[in-house]
Structure formats: structure tokens, C-alpha cells
Amino acid sequence: MDFNWEYRTPYATRAIYSRPWGVEQYDLAPDLHQQSGMTCTDCHTTGFHGQPPPVKLSCLDCHEPGNESRIRLLGLHLDTTTRVLRLHNGDEREVPQLEHPAHKKFADQVACQVCHAQWSFNDAPTYLMRSASEDIDHWARLTVQGSSEVEILLENNLYSDDDDLEPVMRDSLSKTTLPGVWYKGFGQRRWEQLLIRRDTDGIIKVFRPILDLHLSAVTQDNTVLFDTLAGTGPTELPYTPHTTGHAGMFFMDRFRHLVTTPAKTP
């Protein structure tokens, strides 16, 4: 799903095809919960229309055996000795319980998705440039950026015989049209290599470079106001990827170098 036309899918076609998300989407491995027919709201309830406020859940609330006090999810109940989740559509799913000894061994050190995430977002660095310049030839390979405004402007001014459009863009907050267009590009876009780090709370988690941002600004007369400015804080933040799958045989290779006491695979 790189923006550059040499890496997008399908490869470098000028034919018209559907892009309902703005940019092509790779068909990556779906989350196990999604594969079983679950939807977001089967786990993530929210407080609206008189409902109680949302409950912060963890994987253990459903999958930790023997701790019935953690059954807080609406629709989760015991059927004799089996935990069962009733989905919003009325279907029921048996909830598998933790069995592998690694769960107990590393429960206090490692977040679940470190082993169970199948892929993660690793787009870095992210380059954002606000430009009021009419010089756009160098964006020819990056016309598709997930923004219809940017795409219409670039496609028209690069390839159409119609009059050029002004390099302006609508501010989504103020709802006003302002001079300048926000362009975006990435150093790389990857999914297969997870970023595993130790968080400030001591727990090993999956991180993503969501704040690896570099800002630039160019005026109408091509004057560079600033170039690739970066922040001073951390560029990577922990998050929970919803790409759950079975842990592989070499799951410990993801975090072995971070555990406080090196351990053998159970």
C-alpha cells in the first residue's frame, strides 16, 4: 500500500478501478476474532443512549481460566464449565482458555499481542509538506495519497488539458479553504516486522512509529520556510494491534532480548 505507483497494488495501472479507502488495501491476514464472525462492538461496547460507560477490557477478561470475577463483558457467560460469548447477532462462540505455560511464565512481563499479533503498522518516517507552490511535477508518482482533494488537484494539473486548479485545500477543522496543499510520503511502509519495546510501565509491548513525523513548508514562490522538522519526544508509542493469530513456534524470538531473566522456550 505504498503511495509510490511503483509499489501500489495493482502494479502501475492507469485503468479505473475501485479504491473505496482512498488507497489500495493489501489483503493481510485477518484477526482471529473477525474470522470467527465477531465485530468490533462484540468486545468494545460504548456508553451511549443510556447505556453504562464503556468497560476497559483486556485479553485476560475472556481468556484467563479460573478467574470468573473478570467476566465483565456483556454477553460473556459460563455454560457449565465452558465460557461462551453471545454476539450481538445472537450467535454464540466458545471462548478458548489459556493453556500454554508461557502465558503464566511471562504474564507479568509481556503483553499478549507481542506473541499473538500477526502484523503491525510500521510506516516510517512520515513526511508531511504544506506547499502553496504550483510546481508539482515531482509528485507525479504520488498522486494517490488517500485524499480526494490532493488526488483531483494532481491528476488535473499533471495530466488534464483543463485549466490548472489552484493549490488550495479545505481545512477540516475550520471548514475554510486555505492556500497550500498537504502532501504526504513515507520512507517505507511495512507490516511484517513488529516493533517490540519495553514500555514505561515495565511491560514489553508492540509499538508503532506513529510520531515519526517530519514537517516541511513551501510558499507560493517556492521559498522553503522549514524543512523536515522533527519533534523532540519519542517517535514510537505502544498500541494493541487487532491482528490476533496463533503464536508461532518461535514466538520467544520476538522478545527474548528484552526479558529480565533469559528463559528457555517452555
How far is it, in rounded angstroms, from Cα 36 to Cα 244?
Answer: 12
- Interval 32-86: pLDDT, tens: 999 999 998 888 876 555 556 666 788 988 998 877 766 677 788 887 788 999 9
Residue at grid coordinates 511502509: 189
- Interval 222-243: pLDDT, tens: 999 999 999 999 999 999 999 9
Domain ranges of the chain: 1-11+24-99, 122-238
Which DSSP letter does residue 251 get? Answer: G
pLDDT of residue 253: 95
pLDDT at 1 > cutoff 50: no
The pTM assigned to this predicted structure is: 0.85
How far is it, in rounded angstroms, from Cα 161 to Cα 158?
Answer: 9
